[in-house]
């Protein structure tokens, strides 16, 4: 579909250079489905040519880090974008990953296109083929063709990204000549807007959203920090946290379990919202908790390896917590 | 420190005293064993009257409270949830209530975004000798929940 | 000269609304907000939710016959204070199980694709036949009229021709329609009484036309173009061969581990698949009352084979995925002489990490042990 770009070349060279120390390297490869990419697990040097790195590489490959580091004995290398490297850094600071076993090969990012935004723009019409040239996306569907300006279709997180060429954590860094060049937005603006709605509107919104939930657990299983995916309390009968019924109330409660499991740990990669088959806007909840953690404890997950996550520690005097008095 | 009889006068007021089976509200209270549960107990032995709408669950420490306990109660029919523990620095297990304070503050700020009125939840520190404070906390909290219910 | 019945597309909306008066009509409805298409009742169509008959739905229509959650019955423990050591259990049928409620009005599924109709045939083999048939399923099936529209367009994830299907497979539908552009032609019509009744009632929307050989050629071309396109995109799979390959390569653990590394063992593919039917039964009790419910389950789940002892025969993802593929391309064929995959491609469309069942099957066939 596209010719090899220069950062792809540099990435392949670097991986060929360091490959002998690794048992497995995880990267991206081409997919048959338009606008999507596949994870690629490289066990032998000959497979390195299948690697790609471009604006469609939205998957967060850190999701395989925990399970693979337990299954394999040797070193694992993962190709990461700077935002994904935060997930690996957070796992290391929680002592779930060993720094010496999992090596992050971080590539400077020029922005990632969100295919869901593109589907919405073209009215959900099934795409037969898609191509990206310069800053334009050319799409063919059954009835018509579209030409879209790429700068309007980046993933939400890209519009407030400050780490695209200086990642907070890396073992190897591959610089990208093209840089992210889009208008920056305020980080938590959409959450602030949502908070202003009144309770009835919020309840109506969530009832509609969670009515579509089919409890597929894709959100939980794709999250790099949800290492509990095979041992989740939401699927147990004893203790009986939840019923297994598939309806709006149960879907909502499941997300509440996730929100509190990830409080102070979520690195806002946005994968949970991307993979949801029912297009539920989960990130609003995660970002709200992150905004509060930032406000109360001045902590951003995944930036500083030495900082302890705030809910795993405490202070005697909490400057920012204003407790309410009921008397 | 208020006079006991003055607070008792408040309670004779019909607003506070109701038959909880007829038109009361359902409030679940998680009390830590060493301070708050003892404090509620001392309120009882001092005959300090309170509304009967509160159902108490005893936990070893406020640090035992998983924010999901509160959410499960609120989503499954409780009208309000109260959590009470030892004062910070006085925890029987040294630091349980410090962790609780952080978690429960995050929970309190989060409730509006999921569509629950944040006035339905409160966390307090009541020590074993503060029977009167417990009475006031209960009266005010029940009053607040009844106002929300309408 | 042949005569065929045509429905003008401009009359389609009124036709469906007229049907909605006597029947409950379900059809593919697209939500303008996020673009997803699912089978919904005609009553939900408004400015934000429009009818879209050209594309596949995200979720399959199996939920109309096999709902994600249904209550089987309700129970109540009754104790009398005069006889405290005796406890009675009162059982009552849940409302959704009552036959009169199920049969109160006939249902119509309009715009279902041939792959999904083939899937209904597979569901019939599981729930509709033999000693263990599900009586409520049989009732719902008998109560539903299936109006299918053939596929003029083939998408990158369609592969019905690989598994013995066809973009214009109308055998199990009651009415089979073909999109001719300005109108739809009724290409196939069953002789059953309720179909005749429906056609008689709606004859004012139909046009009987005598067609010439040009028109016949046009129809045949639409059918063959789709079939050719689907076959050229995908390799054919011979059922007997694939069953043998699956058996032989079952123990090649290295191969299975390599091809399933990407999988995150969620339920997305299982729940959108039109043939996957695993279910779980549980009880929900509150005080002295409760209900027993049936809900969807997924075999890629860790808990699916977890035994009470704590041992789990399918502890790893590759074992669970291997079971899923074998269920579709091996076990079901051995029992029913029918492959359990209809080639709709929904699993490929919805998978978060791009697992492609065609690639997996190709790998299994071509790997050397």
The reported pLDDT for the residue numbered C369 is 59
Q: Would you give the DSSP letter of residue C152?
A: S
A249 touches chain B (CB under 8 A): yes
Report whether the peptide linkage leading into residue B150 is cis, meaning its omega lies within 30 degrees of zero.
no
Closest chain A C-alpha to B115 CA, distance in angstroms: 5
Neighbours of chain C (3+ CB pairs under 8 A): A
Question: What is the rounded CA–CA span in Å between residue A253 and residue A260?
Answer: 11
The tens digit of pLDDT for each residue in B123-132 reads 999 999 999 9
Closest CB from A39, A127, A142 relative to C262: A39
> How does the average pLDDT of chain A come out, rounded?
91
H or E stretch at B116:
none
H or E stretch at B46:
none
For A60-67, what is the mean pLDDT? 94
**Which range, A13-22, A120-129, A134-143, is most confident?**
A13-22
B-interface mutation test, from A188, A206, A260, A288, most B Cβ less than 10 A away? A260
pLDDT at B2 over 70: no
The tens digit of pLDDT for each residue in C129-167 reads 888 889 899 999 999 999 999 999 888 889 999 998 999
pLDDT at A307 over 90: no
| pTM for the predicted model, two decimal places | 0.92
| Contact check, Cβ <8 Å, A222/C155 | no
First and final C-alpha spacing in chain A: 68
pLDDT at A184 over 50: yes
Chain A: residue whose CA lies nearest to C52: A125
Residues in A 14-43 with any Cβ partner in C closer than 8 A: 31-34, 36-39, 41, 43
What residues of chain A lie within 8 A of the CB of B86, using their CB? none
> How does the average pLDDT of chain C come out, rounded?
91
Spell out the domain ranges in chain C.
3-368
Contact (Cβ atoms closer than 8 angstroms) between residue C146 and residue C175: yes
Q: How confident is the model at residue C200 (pLDDT cuts 50, 70, 90)?
A: confident
Starting from the edge strand earliest in sequence, which strands make up the sheet with B121-125, in order?
A: B54-59, B27-32, B80-85, B121-125
Closest chain C C-alpha to A32 CA, distance in angstroms: 8
Please name the residues in contact with C265: beta carbons below 8 A apart, sequence gap of 6 or more. Answer: A221, A229, A230, C300, C301, C302, C317, C320, C321
Q: How confident is the model at residue B150 (pLDDT cuts 50, 70, 90)?
A: confident
The percent of residues above 90 in pLDDT, for chain C, comes to 62
Nearest by Cα to B110 from B70, B77, B62:
B70
| Contact check, Cβ <8 Å, B102/A323 | no
The reported pLDDT for the residue numbered A308 is 87
The tens digit of pLDDT for each residue in C213-231 reads 888 899 999 999 999 999 9
| Contact check, Cβ <8 Å, A260/B107 | yes
Q: Which value does ipTM take for this structure?
A: 0.90
The tens digit of pLDDT for each residue in A72-116 reads 999 999 999 999 999 999 999 999 999 999 999 999 999 999 998
The reported pLDDT for the residue numbered C231 is 92
Please name the residues in contact with C362: beta carbons below 8 A apart, sequence gap of 6 or more. Answer: C235
| Contact check, Cβ <8 Å, C156/A34 | yes
Of A62-71, B15-24, C103-112, least confident by mean pLDDT is B15-24
pLDDT at C17 over 70: yes
pLDDT at C211 over 60: yes
Other Cβ atoms less than 10 A from the Cβ of B93: the count is 14
Residue C341 main-chain phi, psi, to 5 deg: -120, 135
| Contact check, Cβ <8 Å, C34/A279 | yes
The reported pLDDT for the residue numbered C293 is 94
Q: How confident is the model at residue A4 (pLDDT cuts 50, 70, 90)?
A: low
Neighbours of chain B (3+ CB pairs under 8 A): A
The tens digit of pLDDT for each residue in C321-360 reads 999 999 999 999 999 898 999 999 999 999 999 999 999 9
Helix and strand totals (H; E) in chain A: 10, 9
C-interface mutation test, from A23, A29, A218, A225, most C Cβ less than 10 A away? A218
Q: How far is CA A77 from CA A80, C82, C128, in A?
A: 9, 72, 51
Residues in C 143-202 with any Cβ partner in A closer than 8 A: 153, 155-157
The tens digit of pLDDT for each residue in C238-254 reads 889 999 999 999 999 99
The tens digit of pLDDT for each residue in A193-230 reads 999 999 999 999 999 999 999 999 999 999 999 998 88
The reported pLDDT for the residue numbered C193 is 87
Residue C163 main-chain phi, psi, to 5 deg: -115, 30
The percent of residues above 90 in pLDDT, for chain B, comes to 77
Residues in A 188-227 with any Cβ partner in B closer than 8 A: 191, 194-195, 199, 202-203, 206
pLDDT at C296 over 90: yes
Question: What is the rounded CA–CA span in Å between residue C342 and residue C273?
Answer: 9
The reported pLDDT for the residue numbered B7 is 45
A-interface mutation test, from C31, C53, C262, C292, most A Cβ less than 10 A away? C262
Neighbours of chain A (3+ CB pairs under 8 A): B, C
The reported pLDDT for the residue numbered B6 is 46
The reported pLDDT for the residue numbered C177 is 93
Of A28-32, A181-185, B43-47, C321-325, least confident by mean pLDDT is A181-185
The reported pLDDT for the residue numbered B21 is 54
pLDDT at C53 over 50: yes
What residues of chain A lie within 8 A of the CB of B137, using their CB? 326-327
């Amino acid at each position: 579909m596209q010719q090899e770009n220069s950062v792809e070349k540099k990435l392949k060279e670097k991986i060929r250079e360091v490959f002998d120390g690794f048992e497995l390297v995880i990267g991206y490869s081409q997919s048959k489905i338009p606008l999507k990419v596949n994870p690629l697990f490289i066990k032998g040097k000959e497979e390195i040519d299948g690697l790609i790195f471009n604006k469609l590489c939205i998957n967060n490959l850190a999701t395989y880090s925990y399970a693979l580091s337990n299954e394999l004995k040797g070193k694992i290398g993962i190709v990461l974008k700077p935002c994904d490297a935060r997930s690996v850094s957070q796992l290391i600071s929680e002592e779930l990953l060993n720094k010496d076993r999992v090596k992050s090969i971080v590539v400077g990012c020029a922005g990632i296109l969100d295919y869901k935004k593109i589907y919405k723009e073209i009215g959900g019409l099934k795409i037969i083929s898609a191509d990206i040239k310069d800053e334009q996306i050319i799409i063919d569907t059954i009835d018509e063709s579209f030409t879209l300006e790429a700068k309007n279709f980046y993933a939400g997180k890209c519009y407030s990204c400050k780490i695209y060429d200086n990642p907070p954590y890396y073992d190897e860094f591959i610089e990208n000549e093209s840089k992210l060049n889009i208008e920056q937005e305020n980080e938590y603006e959409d959450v602030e807007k949502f908070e202003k709605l009144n309770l009835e509107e919020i309840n109506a919104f969530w009832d509609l959203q969670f009515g579509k939930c089919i409890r597929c657990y894709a959100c939980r299983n794709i999250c790099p920090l949800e290492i509990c995916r095979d041992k989740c309390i939401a699927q147990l009968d004893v203790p009986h946290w939840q019923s297994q019924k598939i309806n709006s109330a149960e879907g909502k409660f499941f997300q509440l379990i996730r929100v509190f499991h990830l409080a102070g740990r979520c690195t806002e990669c946005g994968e949970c919202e991307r993979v949801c088959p029912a297009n539920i806007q989960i990130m609003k909840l995660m970002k709200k908790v992150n905004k509060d953690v930032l406000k109360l404890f001045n902590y951003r997950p995944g930036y500083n390896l030495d900082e302890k996550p705030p809910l795993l520690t405490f202070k005697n005097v909490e400057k920012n917590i204003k407790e309410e008095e009921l008397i | 420190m208020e006079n006991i009889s003055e607070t008792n006068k408040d309670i004779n007021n019909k607003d506070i005293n109701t038959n909880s089976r007829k038109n009361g509200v359902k409030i679940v209270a998680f009390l830590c064993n060493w301070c708050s549960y003892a404090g509620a107990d001392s309120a009882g032995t001092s005959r300090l009257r309170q509304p009967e709408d509160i159902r108490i669950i005893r936990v070893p420490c406020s640090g035992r409270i998983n924010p999901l306990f509160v959410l499960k109660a609120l989503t499954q029919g409780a009208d309000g949830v109260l959590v009470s523990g030892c004062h910070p620095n006085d925890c029987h297990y040294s630091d349980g209530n410090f962790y609780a304070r952080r978690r429960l503050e995050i929970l309190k700020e989060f409730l509006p975004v999921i569509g629950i009125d944040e006035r339905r939840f409160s966390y307090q520190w009541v020590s074993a000798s503060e029977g009167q404070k417990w009475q006031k906390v209960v009266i005010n909290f029940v009053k607040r929940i009844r106002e929300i219910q309408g | 000269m042949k005569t065929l019945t045509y429905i003008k597309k401009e009359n389609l909306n009124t036709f469906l609304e007229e049907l909605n008066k006597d029947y409950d009509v379900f059809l593919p409805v697209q939500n303008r907000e996020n673009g997803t298409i699912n089978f919904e009742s005609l009553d939900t169509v408004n400015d934000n939710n429009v009818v879209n008959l050209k594309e596949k739905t995200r979720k399959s229509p199996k939920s109309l016959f096999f709902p994600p959650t249904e209550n089987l019955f309700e129970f109540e423990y009754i104790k009398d204070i005069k006889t405290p050591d005796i406890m009675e259990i009162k059982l009552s049928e849940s409302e959704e199980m009552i036959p009169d409620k199920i049969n109160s009005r006939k249902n119509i599924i309009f715009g279902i694709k041939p792959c999904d109709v083939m899937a209904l045939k597979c569901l019939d083999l599981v729930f509709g036949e033999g000693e263990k048939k599900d009586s409520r399923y049989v009732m719902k099936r008998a109560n539903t009229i299936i109006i299918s529209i053939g596929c003029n367009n083939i998408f990158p994830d369609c592969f019905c021709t690989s598994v013995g299907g066809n973009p214009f497979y109308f055998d199990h539908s009651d009415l089979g329609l073909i999109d001719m552009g300005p109108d739809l032609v009724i290409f196939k019509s069953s002789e059953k009484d309720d179909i005749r009744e429906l056609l008689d009632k709606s004859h004012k929307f139909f046009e009987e036309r005598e067609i010439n050989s040009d028109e016949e050629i046009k129809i045949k071309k639409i059918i063959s173009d789709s079939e050719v396109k689907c076959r050229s995109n995908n390799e054919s799979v011979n059922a007997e061969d694939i069953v043998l390959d699956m058996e032989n390569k079952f123990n090649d653990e290295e191969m299975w581990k390599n091809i399933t590394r990407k999988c995150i063992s969620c339920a997305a593919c299982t729940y959108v698949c039109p043939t996957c039917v695993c279910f779980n039964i549980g009880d929900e009790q509150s005080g002295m009352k409760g209900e027993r419910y049936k809900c969807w389950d997924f075999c890629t789940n860790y808990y699916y084979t977890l035994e009470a002892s704590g041992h789990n025969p399918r502890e790893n993802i590759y074992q669970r995925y291997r079971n899923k593929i074998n269920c579709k391309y091996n076990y079901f064929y051995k029992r029913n002489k029918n492959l359990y995959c209809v080639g709709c491609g929904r699993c490929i469309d919805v998978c978060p990490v791009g697992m492609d069942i065609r690639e997996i099957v190709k790998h299994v066939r071509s790997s050397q042990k």
